[in-house]
Amino acid sequence: MSVSNDLELVESFQKGNEASFNELVRRYQEKVYWIAHRFVNDHDQADDIVQEVFLKVYRALNDFRGDSGVYTWLYRITVNVSLNTIRKQRIKDFLRIDELFDYPSEESERPDKQYEQREQKQLIEEAIQRLPEKQKAVFILRYYEELPYEDISKILKTTIGGLKANYFHAVKKIGEFVNRAHRAH
Amino acid sequence: MRTEHIKYSLMDYITDHLDEYDRDQVRLHLQQCSECQNHYNELIAAYDALRHTQKVLPSPAYYSTILPRVQERLMGHRDSLWSDRKITSRLILPFAVSALLLILLIRTPSDFSSGHEQTDALFQAVKDYSADEVVQAVSNEYAGSSVLSNQEVVSEGIAEHLQGDHFIREALMKQIESDEIVDMDIEGVLSGLNREQAEQLLSGLTGREML
Ligand SMILES: [Zn+2]
């Protein structure tokens, strides 16, 4: 039901009804926020992603042809914007790490200490953050969003068999990361 | 069902996302396959740990702030960009093509004759950026030039640059066709660049204006 409604909104927007866009935002803002938040684990970054996603949606809406569902299209944009945010962050981190090598700080010398202060929850978050991108995307969409494989397959443009393998390896890695962290002290 | 299939269904089994038939298949298989039993135990442990994560809710008022801010930004950009909208969306299309242009930008011509390793690393470094980021970075560099105005022109130009470089060519075509999300090891890739190249990449990407 909601699928055809979404499509109607898009068609209405394409006919010039700008308010339809507002309705789409209201309908999906929470979902988009949560997917983004799972990716970056930070409110401000998630908020930036939400803004960027809807700006992109607005600009692409006139070209939307309905060959995929509105929501798979929207989720795909969300995943892409999220991954790009992470990539940019990692490049920044990389450059910063480079600086640490030049001027070693106290903090960088004892990373193990930090583990002890970490709660299980933070450990899990970190395990998720460390997943390879594709596995992370699959994990978030399947485990947290509980989307059907058919939809994830459209969002990520991957075969269902591949998705299932990604999901399996993602959860395995999370388990292994948590285990290793526990054994570390 | 083959073991592979069972193994990859275990998480759905644990989270109760299988239909009755598949659930029985998995349960029966687990009784007779120690390998899958081991996978199962590991996944269960991970699942237990995962349940410790709970949502940290944003303030209730947060969601009501989204739309006004989006609209504000749309208004701000509409005047300057609206008339270019069609062109912009066309520019977004040749993502991989643009990615490659960026590679061309950060390499000196002599790099083209160097080994595949560096070519590979550089290609990796940019191929996963979103279309608009790369396009913007590239079009900033090529401001005033018509090189980006037409996908065919760009493709031809690149084909010229790529004579003999089959790897990039294939990867490029594949990506144009599939537009897939590819995993990449950014740290690994960046370690193949010197600092100047990495910074160039970054400034190209962050210095862009919102499309
Ligand atoms: Zn088995």
Ligand 1 mean position, distance from CA B28 (Å)? 10
B28, B116: one domain = no
pLDDT of residue B51: 84
Closest alpha carbon to B173 in B159, B160, B153: B159
Put simply, the chain A residues between 11 and 50 with a CB less than 8 A from any chain B CB are 22, 25-26, 29-30, 33-34, 43, 47, 50
Compute the mean pLDDT over every residue in chain B, rounded to the nearest whole number. Answer: 61
Residue B55 lies in a domain: no
A70, A131: one domain = no
Q: Is the pLDDT of residue A142 over 70?
A: yes
Query: Which chain B residue has the Cα nearest residue A23?
Result: B67
Tens digit of each residue's pLDDT (9 = 90 or more) over B66-101: 999 999 998 876 555 444 433 333 333 334 444 555
B123, B186: one domain = yes
Residue B116 lies in a domain: yes
pLDDT of residue B194: 62
Tokens of B37: 């039993």
Tokens of A109: 């010398």
The CATH number of whichever domain residue A51 belongs to comes to 1.10.1740.10
Residues in B touching A50 (Cβ below 8 Å): 66
Ligand 1 mean position, distance from CA B34 (Å)? 7
pLDDT of residue B52: 74
Q: Which of B17, B66, B74, B194 to mutate to test the interface with A (most CBs of A within 10 A)?
A: B66
- Cα angle A95, A101, A103 (rounded to 5 degrees) comes to 105
Examine the fold and report which residue of A65, A98, A131 is the final residue of a domain before the chain moves on. A98
Q: Is the pLDDT of residue A183 over 80?
A: yes
Alpha-carbon gap, residue B125 to A1, rounded angstroms: 42
A27, A91: one domain = yes
Alpha-carbon gap, residue B113 to B157, rounded angstroms: 18
pLDDT tier at A103 (50, 70, 90 boundaries)? very low
Alpha-carbon gap, residue B90 to B154, rounded angstroms: 12
Tokens of B171: 């990867």
In terms of residue numbers, what domain contains B160? 79-206
According to DSSP, residue A160 is labeled H
Identify which has the larger pLDDT, A87 or A150. A150
pLDDT tier at B132 (50, 70, 90 boundaries)? very low
Contact criterion met (CB < 8 Å) for B66 and A156: no
A11, A90: one domain = yes
A111, A185: one domain = yes
Alpha-carbon gap, residue B132 to B88, rounded angstroms: 9
B95, B10: one domain = no
Among A27-41, A122-136, B107-121, which stretch is predicted with the lowest mean pLDDT?
B107-121
Q: What is the 3-state secondary structure (H, E, C) of chain B?
A: CCHHHHHHHHHHHHCCCCCHHHHHHHHHHHHHCHHHHHHHHHHHHHHHHHCCCCCCCCCCCHHHHHHHHHHHHHHHHHHHHHHHHHHHHHHHCCHHHHHHHHHHHHCCHHHHHCCHHHHHHHHHHHHCCCHHHHHHHHHHHCCCCCCCCCHHHHHHHHHHHCCCCHHHHHHHHHHHHHCCCCCCCHHHHHHCCCHHHHHHHHHHHHCCCCC
B192, B126: one domain = yes
In terms of residue numbers, what domain contains A22? 1-98
B83, B45: one domain = no
Tens digit of each residue's pLDDT (9 = 90 or more) over B5-47: 899 999 999 999 999 999 999 999 999 999 999 999 999 999 9
Examine the fold and report which residue of A42, A72, A98 is the final residue of a domain before the chain moves on. A98
Put simply, the chain A residues between 68 and 97 with a CB less than 8 A from any chain B CB are 79-81, 83-84, 87-88, 90-92, 94-95
Residues in A touching B6 (Cβ below 8 Å): none
Do the beta carbons of residue A173 and residue A135 sit within 8 Å? yes
A42, A1: one domain = yes
B109, B193: one domain = yes
Tokens of A100: 């640490």
According to DSSP, residue A140 is labeled I
pLDDT tier at B200 (50, 70, 90 boundaries)? low
A75, A123: one domain = no
**What's the domain count of chain A?**
2
Give A128→chain B minimum CA distance, Å: 10
Tokens of B63: 């969601």
A5, A92: one domain = yes
According to DSSP, residue A68 is labeled S
C-alpha pair distances (Å), A9 with each of A26, A153, B68, B74, B97? 12, 24, 19, 19, 33
Tokens 């990361």 belong to: A177
B24, B90: one domain = no
B125, B163: one domain = yes
Give A171→chain B minimum CA distance, Å: 6
**What's the domain count of chain B?**
2
Chain A contact present for B186, CB below 8 A: yes
The CATH number of whichever domain residue A165 belongs to comes to 1.10.10.10
B22, B114: one domain = no
Q: Is the pLDDT of residue A99 over 60?
A: no
Size of interface A-B (CB pairs under 8 A): 142
Contact partners, residue A65, CB within 8 Å, separation at least 6: none
Of residues B53, B201, B205, nearest to A121 (C-beta): B53
Tens digit of each residue's pLDDT (9 = 90 or more) over A46-67: 999 999 999 999 988 988 887 7
Q: Is the pLDDT of residue A169 over 90?
A: yes
Of residues B46, B74, B205, nearest to A174 (C-beta): B46
A94, A175: one domain = no
Tokens of B72: 């504000």
A113, A87: one domain = no
B202, B147: one domain = yes
ipTM: 0.81
- Cα angle B63, B57, A155 (rounded to 5 degrees) comes to 70
Residue B64 lies in a domain: no
Tokens of A65: 């042809």
Mean of pLDDT values over B145-160: 39
Half-sphere exposure of A20 (CA within 13 A, CB side): 18
> What pTM did the predictor assign?
0.65
Examine the fold and report which residue of A98, A120, A139 is the final residue of a domain before the chain moves on. A98
Residues in A touching B45 (Cβ below 8 Å): 175, 178-179
pLDDT of residue A16: 92
Q: Is the pLDDT of residue A23 over 60?
A: yes
Residue B196 lies in a domain: yes
Residues within 5 A (CB) of ion ligand 1: B 3, 33, 35-36
Residue B170 lies in a domain: yes
Residue B21 lies in a domain: yes
pLDDT tier at A17 (50, 70, 90 boundaries)? very high
Tens digit of each residue's pLDDT (9 = 90 or more) over B46-68: 999 898 777 778 887 999 999 99
Tokens of A58: 């607005």
Sign of CA dihedral B31, B34, B36, B41: positive
A69, A158: one domain = no
Residue B177 lies in a domain: yes
Residue B19 lies in a domain: yes
A91, A114: one domain = no
A125, A169: one domain = yes
